[in-house]
């Protein structure tokens, strides 16, 4: 567990804060505005504790659903580490990393208000921002998560098979 946390910290150490204007791509509903308010100026993901992550934004605990690709890349390590340490209550990084690259999720259409296209296309574009080292630690996290869930979770297994392992292999 300590080794995985250390690998996550190293892989994301040089990621630059995306800026206050690039925290979310969405303007629909109250949560994106609340996300901007809660994350504005939070330029070091290491400073975010599990209490903040569990409630952001504004008590919903849904920030992972509304981050832009750049913000996801920047803040993801805080969520991964909090999950590994057993401190996350509501947010689950596995959902954001897996659902949209499974057969059931990738073909779902996105409304124009959320950019159109499919969930899979959107996820692949966002995940394309991760470098080789980051992809490798995401794969390690997903293997850890699968094991922590008793070794069986179809969503994780399908995401690994359909996207993450292929991406890690550079195919």
Task: Give the contacts of 81 (CB within 8 A, at least 6 positions apart).
Answer: 5, 8, 9
Contact predicate 102/158, CB 8 Å = yes
Phi, psi of 24 (to 5 degrees): -145, 155
The pLDDT value recorded for residue 70 is: 97
More confidently predicted of 59 and 130 = 130
The pLDDT value recorded for residue 1 is: 85
Average confidence (pLDDT) over 109-114: 74
Mean pLDDT over all residues of the chain?
Answer: 94
Average confidence (pLDDT) over 94-107: 93
pLDDT bin (cut points 50, 70, 90) of residue 115 is confident
The pLDDT value recorded for residue 171 is: 60
At residue 117, does pLDDT exceed 90? no
Contact predicate 119/106, CB 8 Å = yes
% helix / strand / coil in the chain, to the nearest 5? 65, 0, 35
What are the tens digits of pLDDT across the range 133-170? 999 999 999 999 999 999 999 999 999 999 999 999 98
What are the tens digits of pLDDT across the range 2-28? 999 999 999 999 999 999 999 998 877
């Amino acid at each position: 567990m300590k080794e995985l946390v250390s690998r996550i910290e190293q892989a994301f150490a040089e990621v630059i804060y995306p800026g206050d204007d690039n925290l979310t791509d969405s303007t629909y509903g109250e949560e994106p505005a609340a996300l901007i308010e809660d994350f504005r100026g939070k330029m070091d993901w290491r400073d975010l504790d599990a209490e903040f992550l569990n409630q952001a934004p504004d008590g919903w605990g849904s920030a992972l659903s509304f981050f832009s690709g750049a913000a996801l890349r920047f803040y993801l390590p805080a969520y991964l580490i909090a999950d590994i340490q057993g401190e996350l209550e509501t947010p689950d990084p596995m959902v954001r990393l897996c659902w949209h690259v499974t057969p059931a999720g990738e073909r779902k259409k996105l409304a124009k208000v959320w950019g159109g296209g499919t969930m899979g296309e959107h996820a692949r574009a966002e995940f394309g921002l991760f470098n080789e080292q980051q992809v490798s630690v995401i794969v390690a996290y997903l293997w850890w998560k699968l094991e922590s869930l008793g070794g069986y979770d179809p969503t994780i297994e399908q995401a690994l098979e359909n996207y993450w392992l292929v991406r890690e292999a550079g195919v």
